[in-house]
Structure 1
Amino acid sequence: MDPEIVIAQTTSDDEEQAKSLARGAVESKLAAGVHIDAPITAFYWWQGKVEAAQEWRISYMTSSDRLPALEAWLHERHPYDVPQWVTLPVTGGSEAYLSWVVDETRPQ
């Protein structure tokens, strides 16, 4: 398989916002699929103190060639000043699934 597959992740403290960020990326063909994990508890440093929040983790399945466009799209829409944005390389998997990700993220 030529293009690499990537899972990109962010979080949101609002479930409806998480769903909007998921649906919009799929509709825009920036991600083939998106998973939203049930609420998680996050602890993090913010502006000099430890914060705690309930968040939803959003995982985008995409191809590496669509990653820059997905990241730009997300940063335009995400309400956080500094949204989490991490990417995880997919090092293996079902050939059929990986091909599906590539096919579904081709620009229209």
Structure 2
Amino acid sequence: MTWALSLIYSTFGSEEEARRVAKTLLQEKLIACANHFAPIMSQYEFQGAFHEDQEFPVLLKTSEELVKPAAERLRALHSYDTPAIVHWAASADNADYEKWLFDQLKTPLR
């Protein structure tokens, strides 16, 4: 099976929630790695009201094959009614890193 690298981006209302959700996804082998970034300020309109909130962004590394189940699980674990869950294809320039990443993930062959 050939795997393709994908990234999933999401934001959370607290650092604790971001860590808890990422840890669950790691333990369930839906992602191989989670990169937590410094808090950001998000400005948006939701349900007719303007919001300006501090959020905690996380970049989740997985395979293209696991994007859908990872995103579905992320949505189920997320406290937001409408969480930002965005994904895109990526490539790794380090074959050893890519092998390590895919070895961390749930596969149908294991």
- Shorter chain as denominator, the TM-score bin is over 0.9
Equivalent residue pairs, number: 108
Per mean C-alpha deviation after superposition, the further-off stretch among 44-53 and 33-42 is 44-53
Tell me which residue corresponds to 1:55.
55
How much does 1:89 deviate? 1.2
Aligned to 1:29: 29
Q: Counterpart amino acid of 1:104?
A: Q
> Which stretches in structure 1 are left out of the alignment for 5+ residues?
none
Mark the runs of 5 or more structure 2 residues left unpaired by the alignment: none
Partners of 2:37 and 2:15 lie apart in 1 by 10
Superposition deviation, residue 99 in structure 1: 1.4
Which stretches of structure 1, 4 residues or longer, exceed 6 Å deviation after superposition?
Answer: none
How far 1:104 moved relative to its partner? 0.6
TM-score, scaled to structure 1: 0.92
Say what the alpha-carbon RMSD is for the aligned residues: 1.5
By how many angstroms is 1:28 displaced?
0.8
Q: Matched residues, percent identical?
A: 26
CA distance in 1, matches of 2:91, 2:27: 26
